[in-house]
Amino acid sequence: MSDVLQQALALLKDVTPLDTDCGNVCDGRCCRPSADSVGMLLLPGEENLLSGEGFTITPADGGDLLTCNGNCRREMRPFACRVFPLFPYVGEDGLVRAVYDPRSFRLCPLTRNCAHVRLKPDFVRAVRKAGTLLMSDPACAAFLRAQSREIDELSRLLPFLENERPPIARRKLR
Ligand code: SF4
Ligand code: SF4
């Protein structure tokens, strides 16, 4: 595993979307096997870190797909779980921004209520910083770019998220 990947994972080690455990709101939906969750796509090289953790890793379109039994050692959770429900999106200008991942829409109440629930700025910033760091690794950069184009496609189906894209600039609940 590259140093860059290790550093990106470390940036996201302790940050969380909210001050409180958001799993209390939804009973940890993103960790429960469900029809809405097909698994987590791993970054290139990440599979080497996670072998021996009891995960199932299978090749899929776009990269290796990890599935779990709903439990993991927190310090070993994959990148996709660390940034959820955001994604380090690479724009056509090459800059990385943290955006709501439209693929989280069905699963995550934070995404569905993004107009009213403000995510913690340190979490949002860590997602962006981790993405910027990963852009220095050619394989990870290609992965982030490909995923960002997929997000572009899906965002066309969810224009409300397109309008709400910057999670850090959320207006407070009135
Ligand atoms: S589905 Fe969303 S709100 Fe629920 S635990 Fe996962 S990130 Fe938190
Ligand atoms: S790998 Fe861990 S954090 Fe990710 S969905 Fe499974 S139990 Fe949850």
- Block means of pLDDT (10 residues each) for the chain, length 174 residues? 89 96 91 76 94 91 91 95 97 94 92 92 97 97 96 81 54 38
User: Among the atoms of ligand 2, which is closest to the Cα of residue 30?
Assistant: 5
CA angle in degrees (0–180, nearest 5) for 13-59-69: 55
- Give the three-class secondary structure for 164: coil
Give the pLDDT confidence score for residue 174 in this predicted structure.
36
Give the pLDDT confidence score for residue 1 in this predicted structure.
52
Ligand 2 centroid to Cα of residue 66, in Å, is 9
Residues with C-beta less than 6 Å from any ligand 1 atom? 17, 22-23, 25-26, 28-30, 84-85, 107-110
Cα 1 to Cα 42, 63, 106, 107, 128, distances in angstroms? 12, 15, 32, 30, 21
* Positive/negative CA dihedral, 80, 81, 82, 87: positive
Q: Rounded to whole angstroms, how far apart are CA atoms 157 and 152?
A: 9
